Structure 1
């Protein structure tokens, strides 16, 4: 059975994650004995990616955001990293709020968008499913919202949190594979290297961004369930301000 130092070294070398020794000792104490070292390391990594990094990762100055990262008075700076962070929120700022609400409601009705068609899922048996297609001139071309209620087109705005609990706003400056409402769960872990921070916002591009994966189920599920209500609340707030 691998010891804590071996597992920590392996995760650090492969994922640049410095696992807390106390967290790792607790993990090992609850693990079965006589488990191969490789399997134990994979399980530990899976648990880290599903955890709150404020509890599972050790901290040092180079792996954390600057305390004043959100200061808009700082015109531009670069944070070398690598800095592991977790996603607390994601928003498609390239799609209107109403379009996002309508996409969610299509999903609630059992519909999805495929190109210029509405595809409705219907049950044809206990173990089989079929689809019913309806042509639509109002759904837009390819790239319209999918079954999850997101076009994935972006750009996206993220709220990121480091292992010390410091939060920062991040903006997708270039299209990044894996950043979309349907692909990036709340609690997903990201590694930032040589990221530029301008006026308090982290500017994301493929060169500074590495998706490690994972999610925090206790955060992801309520976030998804409450998304429509949050969008409607924002629309109401905009209407109130206009009046």
Structure 2
């Protein structure tokens, strides 16, 4: 192992992933890695492990907040500011994702098909073997394709890649609403887990909304397991509450 893995890992993750690692977090990570094994770990493997840990961590713990340019403005929600651009790069984690291009009922129906172990193929409902969040995404996508192609009922209200609305959070805990202004690879129900990390740079904020585009947003992935499980388990109930309450 190099004599200074701390500096090399910090530099590598900052230059290749735009992740300003917290020195305190990294010190703790290196100490735990060193004491957990007696063998020498190659720097490349150590760096990849650090990246994995960050992608599955709360960035309020794992990333540094010393550089203001890597954080959201504290007044990000201010609707009186018509437009501004954030240079970044700013690492963020996903706290919520919503498909606003698909009706609430269609989303509930997609969840219920997954619960029954069913998916849609064309106009037929077929049994699926592997049931999970990917199945839900596929069911919703097929349902939306049918609505778009056939103009049928169900109120799909958009194509299978329908616009998404995200709640995002930076390393200092500041939250913002992100709107998929143009389709971004990796953003979608069943694709993007809660706690996933994204990097925004040269992004436009219009009246408090962060406008996400392929040019301004890169999905790094990851997941905070506890938050993701909690979000998925409560999603159907939240959708039904909005339907019944008209929210």
Common topology (TM > 0.5) = yes
Pick aligned residue for 1:105 from 112, 120, 135: 112
Q: Is the 8 A contact 2:145 2:160 kept in 1?
A: no
TM-score by length of 1: 0.85
Deviations along 1:54-91, one digit per CA (max 9) or x if unpaired, are 00001110000011010000000000000000000000
Matched, 1:20 2:26: no
- C-alpha displacement at 1:51, in angstroms? 0.5
Structure 1 pair 140–179 and aligned structure 2 pair: CA distance change class (3 A): closer
Map 1:12-91; keep pairs closer than 5 Å: 12-31=14-33, 32-33=37-38, 34-59=40-65, 60-91=67-98
Q: In structure 2, do the counterparts of structure 1 residues 140 and 180 end up closer, same or farther at CA, with 3 Å as the change threshold?
A: closer
> What is the Cα deviation at residue 140 of structure 1?
6.4
Aligned length, in residue pairs: 218
Q: Is the 8 A contact 2:84 2:204 kept in 1?
A: yes
**Which consecutive aligned stretches of 4+ in structure 1 deviate over 2 angstroms post-superposition?**
114-117, 139-144
Tell me if the contact between 1:63 and 1:81 (Cα under 8 Å) persists in the aligned partners: yes
Q: Check the 8 A contact 2:144/2:160 in 1, yes or no.
A: no
CA-to-partner distance for each residue in 1:28-74, whole Å, 9 max, x for gaps?
Answer: 11113411111011000100111000000011100000110100000
| Corresponding position: 1:204 with 2:212 | yes
Cα deviation digits, residues 180-220 of structure 1 (max 9, x gap): 11100001100001000001000111110111111111111
Give the Cα separation in 1 of the matches to 2:6 and 2:179.
Answer: 37
Match of 2:135 in 1: none
Q: 1:115 to 1:65 in 2, by over 3 A?
A: same
Is residue 189–residue 213 contact of structure 1 (8 Å, CA) maintained in 2? yes
Structure 2 stretches of 5 or more lacking a match?
Answer: 131-142, 149-158
- Which has a greater percent of helix? 2
User: Corresponding residue for 1:230?
Assistant: 238
Q: Counting strand residues as a fraction of each chain, which structure ranks higher?
A: 1
Report the CA distance shift for 1:164/1:141 in structure 2 as closer, same or farther (over 3 A). closer
TM-score normalised over the length of structure 2: 0.84
Distance, in Å, in 2 between the alignment partners of 1:140 and 1:82 is 34
